[in-house]
Amino acid sequence: MPRLARLTPDTAVGASRDLLAELASRHGPLGDMVSTMAHSPAVLGGYLQLSRAMGRAKLDRGTSERISIALQVLQGCRLCLDAHVSAARARGVDEEEIERARSGTSADPAIAAIIALALQIYRAPTSITDAQITALREHGYSDRAIADVVGVVTLNVLTGAFNLLAGLTPESGTDV
């Protein structure tokens, strides 16, 4: 059961009302997470800005979705995990690779290395080494793509933590 109520453009106030109204006019019905985030215009605005910015990330979306799957398995947000599994499938990631992502790896050594970096950023960022960054470059990742991993991790921490706090689950309503 959700812990926080959904808001709508009619029930939200101030900046949240404006953000929800704009989103509804551009995208139609609003998902539970966005509607619930509207309790804090700072959180909702930050999420929207980071989400838009990460849409311009250098990492390809299939890799980004695999990273997100690995992170959400650790974080425990089923709503996010389901959304990222669906997005990975839509981008052509096969079921074996989705299962590998759930385990924090990939059959592709380059993707396995970038997933490992994301998990390390999540768990213990002080343990990242120069050798790891060099290895990622040798796999073909640019500095921009490597830096984008921090954004993917941050977006997943934000959405997963928010959904867990708010009590949003796949059973509690609509999508992210």
Q: What tens digit of pLDDT does each residue of 5-59 get?
A: 999 999 999 999 999 999 999 999 999 999 999 999 999 999 999 999 999 999 9
Contact 120, 128 (CB under 8 A): yes
Query: Which burial class, exposed, middle or buried, applies to 1 when counting CB atoms under 10 A from its CB (0-12, 13-18, 19+)?
Result: exposed
Q: How confident is the model at residue 171 (pLDDT cuts 50, 70, 90)?
A: confident
CATH (residue range 61-166)? 1.20.1290.10
Q: Is the pLDDT of residue 163 over 80?
A: yes
Q: Strand, coil or helix: what is 159?
A: helix
pTM attached to this predicted model: 0.93
Evaluate if residue 176 carries a pLDDT over 70.
Answer: no
Q: Where residue 173 falls among pLDDT bands split at 50, 70, 90?
A: low
For the chain, residues classed under CATH 1.20.1290.10 are: 61-166
Q: What is residue 1's predicted lDDT score, i.e. its pLDDT? A: 84
Whole-number mean pLDDT of the chain? 95
Q: What mean pLDDT do residues 107-117 have?
A: 98
Looking at 83-87, 110-114, 171-175, which range is the least confident one? 171-175
